[in-house]
Structures are given as structure tokens and as C-alpha cells.
Amino acid sequence: MASTSRALILFVAVAMAAVLGTAHGASYTVGAPAGSWDLRTNYANWVSSITFRAGDVLVFKYARGTHDVLEVSKADYDSCSGSSPIASFQAGDDRVPLPTGGVTRYFICGVPGHCDGGMKLAVRVEATGPNAAAPSPVPPPRAAVPSATSPPSSNSAASAGSVASLVGLGLAAVMAALMGF
């Protein structure tokens, strides 16, 4: 009987860790790890390896005054026109939340010639929640071993979700330790 209760408590703790791990979005530094918001980075290539979800945050890093970030319509993205932006960012460390899924967001550099030079980014944001596709399964708690398909944890995917996952796994470890008493 006691082992059944312990197993149930461990299951609840692991489930809580999974919920905490998916409750917060990831933070992606645009172009990282090899680039940033610049004229050298291939943004179509960079974005192709990431699935963006509602709740994620894009971080545009660049030297202030050398670039900017304009969120634009699809037509303005296609024509590289910054004449009527939806939003404008100029700080050099701009954080753009992606709160809504099921949409594509379009960003360009508004400095003349930069968008035509490749500084444009289209981000498809997947929906989350009960009507969205099921998230990847959460592995059982074990020693963390990075996989070949995991994005680097330095700049491109250092996320609040990762921190929450660690907190949740810590909670699971505490619960497991308490079950031993």
C-alpha cells in the first residue's frame, strides 16, 4: 500500500514538472548561435530549424543605431517596405513576445537596403492549448543528456521554460526524497 502511495506521489510530481516545463515559452535570440540581427545571417535557414509556439519570445540583438526591427504586413515584407510598420523597435536588445498562435509574423530591418540585403524574418507561430497539436512527450526524469536535435542552450533557446522545467524536476526530486521518510 505504501509503495502505491509513493508511486502516485512520484507520478503527480513528474506531471507537475511537465506542466511547469510547458507553461512558459522559449526565448529565441534571432540568428543565434552563429549570427544575430545582421546582414550576414540567413534567416530563412535559421527559422527553418525552430518550431515557434504561442508564448515564445524573439530577441533581436544588434548595435543600436546600425539597424532596427519593424514588424510589417505580409505585403510590406514581400516588398521590403517599412513605410507603415505594425510595430517598431530600435533598442538593440528588443524582446518581441509571440502571444498568439496560428499566425505568421513578419519582421524587416527598416534601414534602407538592409531588407533587400536579407534582413527579413517570417515567423510562423504554432498554436498551443487544447486545440493545438500535442506537444512532444516529456521524458522521464533522468540525468540530462543533450540530444543531437536539441538547439543550443546558450543564446538561441535559453528560455524561461527551461528554468521552469528545472524547477519542476527539482520539485519531483524533493517529493521523491520526502517519500523516503
Residues 87, 68: Cα–Cα separation, whole Å: 11
Q: What is the pLDDT of residue 138?
A: 37
What are 110-135's pLDDT values in tens digits? 999 999 999 999 999 998 765 544 44
Q: pLDDT grade, residue 89 (50/70/90)?
A: very high
pTM equals 0.62
Superfamily of domain 26-127, CATH level 4: Cupredoxins -  blue copper proteins (2.60.40.420)
Residues 16, 20: Cα–Cα separation, whole Å: 6
Residue 52 and residue 46 in contact, taking contact as beta carbons nearer than 8 Å: no
What are 44-87's pLDDT values in tens digits? 999 999 999 999 999 999 999 999 999 999 999 999 999 999 99
Mean pLDDT of 152-157: 37
